[in-house]
Structure 1
Amino acid sequence: MITSPPGTPDIGDRADLVALLRRFYEAALADRLIGPYFTEIAGLDLEAHLPRITDFWERALLRTADYDGNAFAPHAALHDTRPMTAEHFGRWVQLWRASVDGLYAGPRADHAKVQGERIALAMLRRLSGSEDTDGDTGLGFVPLAALRLRTDL
């Protein structure tokens, strides 16, 4: 388990989410595996996207924003253009968790990591047509929380 330095703050407000999302997208856009989905396929305009995705996460974590969008639809469109696999979603989770751990520690930060993993798995299931509820998608996706990561290798 990654531990943050003592005194690391928890996610407290929308400004914290904006900082987190900027950090995450900086890593995701540069990533060789998932970056092309953002840059080449979606042509993501981060400044235009940031307020909407911040609403999504503010609603999910802080319960203080109204989000009435459909987060699945744009992912389905991307998947139709270039199918996304368990490897893609696993990488997304890895970058999301690292982004959270790099800035925050506490109950909301922990919830953000768990929620990100749940969302990734739900998206993968829907896109692949696998609606299994037992957590075994048969798709090769192993939630990162289930792995023991060793730094001494």
Structure 2
Amino acid sequence: MRATRDISDRHDLDVLLRRFYGAAFADPLIGPFFTEIAGTDLELHLPRITDFWERALFRTADYGRDAFAPHAALHSARPLTAAHFGRWVQLWQASVDGLHSGPRAERAKAQGERIALAMLRRLGDGSTEGTGGGFVPLAALELRSVA
């Protein structure tokens, strides 16, 4: 059953982000970036990232942080690849789809993909060396193999 209600407020973002980070922390590919390398404290991180998404979707929060800096620090500790960003997008979009549908949900998914691509480009020269062919939005190959 598909969710029918769009993302409507900060509470919706909080629920969505908790679902996403629960999946991301447990994921064998990207989880170690959160749990081992960054040692992310979700309760500390959540208000900041909720501000980010509230600003992106509603233009109501004040987010003045540099979203790139923590990713650059992670990349210095262990390189982030297209496969990592592709998995992030897959988990993000699955989390959104599991809870919401509508224009803001679609914007959240599109924005997540744009952010992932921009981060990947900024972290390196944009090459896909060692990534198995590069960024695959929505883990399209996995989805096609199931169909």
TM-score (norm 1): 0.87
TM-score (norm 2): 0.90
Secondary structure at the counterpart of residue 123 of structure 1: helix
In the other structure, the counterpart of 1:41 is 37
**Aligned 8 A contact 2:87 2:139 in 1:** no
TM-aligned CA distance change 1:44 to 1:10, over 3 Å: same
Q: What stretches of structure 1 move > 6 A for 4+ residues in a row? A: 145-148
The answer for unaligned runs of 5 or more in structure 1 is 131-136
- 1:19-65: CA deviations, max 9, x gaps? 00000000000000000000000000000000000000000011110
Q: Percent identity?
A: 73
> What residue is the counterpart of 2:110 in the other structure?
114
The correspondence for 1:63, drawn from 59, 71, 85, is 59
Q: Which residue of the partner structure matches residue 134 of structure 1?
A: none
Distance of aligned partners of 1:151 and 1:105 in 2 relative to their CA distance in 1, 3 Å threshold: farther
Name the residue aligned to 2:17: 21
Q: Note the aligned Cα RMSD (angstroms).
A: 1.9
- How has the CA–CA distance of structure 1 residues 116 and 87 changed in structure 2, closer, same or farther, with 3 Å as cutoff? same
Q: 1:147: Cα distance to partner? A: 6.4
Q: How far off is 1:128 after superposition?
A: 1.3
Aligned in 2, Cα 1:26/1:127: closer, same or farther, shift over 3 Å? Answer: same
How many residues matched? 143
Structure 2 residues without counterparts, runs of 5 or longer: none
Greater per-residue helix proportion = 2
